[in-house]
Amino acid sequence: MPKCNRSHLFCALLTLILVASATAQNPAAISFNTQTKVFRIDAANQTYAFGINDKNALQPVYWGQRLGATDPLAAPHTNDGVASFDSSPTTTPNEYAAWGGGLFVEPALKVSFPDGNRDLVLKYVSHSIRDNELTITMKDIERDLAVDLRYSVDPATGIVGRSAVIVNHTKSVLTIDQAAAATWNLPRGTDYSLRYLTGRWAGEWNLQKQAILPGSIVLESRRGSTGHQNNPWFAIERGDHGDEDSGEVWFGALAWSGSWRITIERDQLQQIRVTGGYNSFDFAYRLQPEQKLETPVFYGGYSHHGIGEASRMLHRFELASILPQAPKPKARPLIYNSWEATEFAVTEPGQEALAEKAASIGVERFVMDDGWFGQRKDDHAGLGDWYVNKEKFPNGLKPLIDKVHALGMDFGLWVEPEMVNPDSDLYRKHPDWVLNFTGRPRSEARNQLVLNLARKDVRDYVFSFLDDILSHNQVAFLKWDYNRNWSEPGWPAVSPEEQKAVYVTYTKNLYGILQELRAKHPGVEIESCSGGGGRVDLGILRYTDEVWPSDNTDPFDRLRIQDGFTYAYTPGVMMAWVTDSPHWLNNRSTSLSYRFLSSMQGSLGIGANLNKWVAEDFSTSKTLIAAYKDIRETVQHGSLYRLVSPRENSEVSVTESVSIDRHQAALFAFLHSSQMGYPFPRVFMKGLDPQQIYRITPISGVAAKDTPATASGTYWMSHGIDVELRGDLQAAAFKFEASAN
Ligand code: DGJ
């Protein structure tokens, strides 16, 4: 960018023209070079290239920073292997390697034919390019098994989506033993490290980092759903010097909410590859003649501005391309949820009293949680019986819903559609509807069993009771919970050979129900919750507007939970409630403003027992909720900068969100505990427009006395700002607004 010494307006115009012309010169493009037989996907700052090699296999060529349009990318050649132990299929990088011909690395596809043949070697047949989509058809060297490899590209971020469709054109039934969506190949190297997310109930979203050494690292869920323990996201950095803003990062996320696996390998030739898709553990999918299996999509992207930019790319992509309301999702309404206040003890007057209090502070959506249906007094009974409990709501839900509407809020309801308590009318009537192996124990967790959604009758039942609730009540929102993982995943109603398809069919039916419900009730929004963050992935996010990251609402723990969450997912879907103090989990006491500021970094909600609040709590909340509404668009849909991470027992934590037009920013600073009288470290903002003048306004807390009321973006980013924070569990937040002068 040239130096600009004239007026700000002139500079701004010049910048606009330059950016516009750069975009015009650099539009997204998918091309095929007929000489070299190389495919190129160029978009945003990324080039992804692979070609048809001398053996007609698809071989990766390049993935990284966008190359010049005329940069030469030579035709790929097979590697003949370095010894008799390292055969060519293993040493030659492959876009989508089938298990056959001597492949020892992780295959993308493995099949068994009925005659005992398990050898599969895929060759290029044809391709088509349409707009931002490329499809390549591959076929086995001998059998009529075809695989369509699909590529799509997001022009704004360069993120590429890859999936495979496996089609059986033979005359007999075959079995797919293993199927990935894609293999991502990185440039050969020895200095890579992997970031990934681990967790457990009430302790999700821990960011891990480890060197990628020779061998394999497996991230997975065998649980039937995404799981708290690993999340289907990865980021790989090259070298030791990468941080939030610098370094090369290759990242990816698998859009699948069933059992999944991502394998990261470094092989004997220092080749790095990441293969992800269905988990092959206990997996088998039979394909009848002319039947096909479509894998989930595995998205991949590249940033050369560090992991911070990689996260922002994913956030933008999720908002603009994944969420059901994409490309312009509505900001999350401010919700009140009754769970922590009442647990199962919901009643009409009790909920109405909470609703009145919630409305008085600016809540926009009132959500009644668990306990309103069947014989649900605790978690021992009732799941599956989706009729309103007459003892608790003698006149149905209408009086409560009307009251909530009269208070100016919309109404949301908790459901857990995929589960059943053995103590329920549904289970007594249909004991065969759950996952089970005939004659074997049915292991309960939270006193419940998993309904087998792969069964058509179960799928239809679940759709119809939800459709019924939505058709007969003015419900604007469903909190869709899922509180256990699978055990004994049998499906006795189909033949033994068909049963393992449950891992695919269950999840596809879940998506189908969500899709159909949304189509029939277009105004309804849905939250994905699984005992907290057990089902968060790009698959479920196609059908749900928000997610519940964790049952742990301790505002201090939440700093770390939310920090980890944002590596993969946008704050625009990250629900964060203000709850009671001391907190039920850690018995930690925090001020109401600390709790608010922690939650205001995401999509704010209230989950406290408002019946215990005093007048001052209501007035503090009212003020902070009004302040949040003013910055909500920036926090939820803007660019997030993790300025100081709360990880590794950091005493401080700072985040900043900048609106897309860079006119507004919000800064949140947290102090765990003052030590030795040290002042809070100076905060250097990021992502502001250097030329713009921004006015600082405190939302809560104060800046140092000599902080100017207005200063340029350069000032806030280079000079920085001193925040006055001392003591234990303190927090401050500021709004920055660009002004003309
Ligand atoms: C688990 C969820 O994560 C909680 O928020 C709450 O909805 C309970 N289930 C209700 O049973």
* Cβ(341) – ligand 1 distance below 6 Å: no
Of 481, 537, 563, 689, the catalytic one is 481
The answer on pLDDT for 7 being more than 60 is no
pLDDT for residue 27: 85
Q: Which residue has the higher pLDDT, 637 or 25?
A: 637
pLDDT digits (tens, 9 = 90+) for 197-234: 999 999 999 999 999 999 999 999 999 999 999 999 99
Q: Domain boundaries in the chain?
A: 34-322, 335-637, 644-738
**List of residues 6+ apart from 16 with CB closer than 8 A:** none
pLDDT for residue 413: 98
pLDDT digits (tens, 9 = 90+) for 343-389: 999 999 999 999 999 999 999 999 999 999 999 999 999 999 999 99
Residue 369 alpha carbon to ligand 1 centre in Å: 7
Strand partners, 605: 335, 577
Residue 585 alpha carbon to ligand 1 centre in Å: 14
- Mutation to probe ligand 1, out of 335, 448, 483, 484 (largest number of atoms < 8 A from CB): 483
pLDDT for residue 242: 81
Do the Cβ atoms of 49 and 73 come closer than 8 Å? Answer: yes
Residue type, 375: Q
Instruction: Report the chain's terminal Cα–Cα distance, integer Å.
Output: 24
* Cβ(671) – ligand 1 distance below 6 Å: no
pLDDT digits (tens, 9 = 90+) for 77-87: 999 877 889 88
pLDDT digits (tens, 9 = 90+) for 142-190: 999 999 999 999 999 999 999 999 999 999 999 999 999 999 999 999 9
Q: Name the CATH superfamily housing domain 644-738.
A: Golgi alpha-mannosidase II (2.60.40.1180)
**pLDDT-based confidence at residue 9 (cuts at 50, 70, 90):** very low
pLDDT for residue 24: 46
Mean pLDDT of 534-554: 98
Residue type, 490: G
Active site residue 481: yes
pLDDT for residue 25: 52
Q: Are strands 160-168 and 297-303 parallel, antiparallel or unpaired?
A: antiparallel
The answer on pLDDT for 710 being more than 90 is yes
Which CATH topology does 335-637 take? TIM Barrel (3.20.20)
> For residue 532, which atom of ligand 1 is closest to its CA?
3
Give the residue, by CA position, lying nearest to ligand 1 atom 3.
Answer: 531
Which CATH topology does 34-322 take? Beta-galactosidase; Chain A, domain 5 (2.70.98)
pLDDT digits (tens, 9 = 90+) for 269-286: 999 999 999 999 999 999
Active site residue 115: no
Mean pLDDT of 599-611: 98
Residue type, 69: A
pLDDT for residue 28: 86
The answer on pLDDT for 724 being more than 60 is yes
> For residue 343, which atom of ligand 1 is closest to its CA?
10
**pLDDT-based confidence at residue 297 (cuts at 50, 70, 90):** very high
**pLDDT-based confidence at residue 740 (cuts at 50, 70, 90):** low
Mean pLDDT of 401-419: 98
Q: What is the pTM of this model?
A: 0.96
Residue 450 alpha carbon to ligand 1 centre in Å: 16
pLDDT for residue 683: 98
For the chain, the helix, strand and coil percentages under 3-state DSSP, each to the nearest 5: 25, 35, 45
The answer on pLDDT for 12 being more than 70 is no
The answer on pLDDT for 13 being more than 50 is no
d(CA 405, CA 394): 19
Mean pLDDT value across the chain: 95
The answer on pLDDT for 74 being more than 80 is yes
Identify the H or E element spanning 673.
strand 664-673
The answer on pLDDT for 639 being more than 80 is yes
pLDDT digits (tens, 9 = 90+) for 384-399: 999 999 999 999 999 9
Cβ neighbours, 10 Å, residue 540: 25
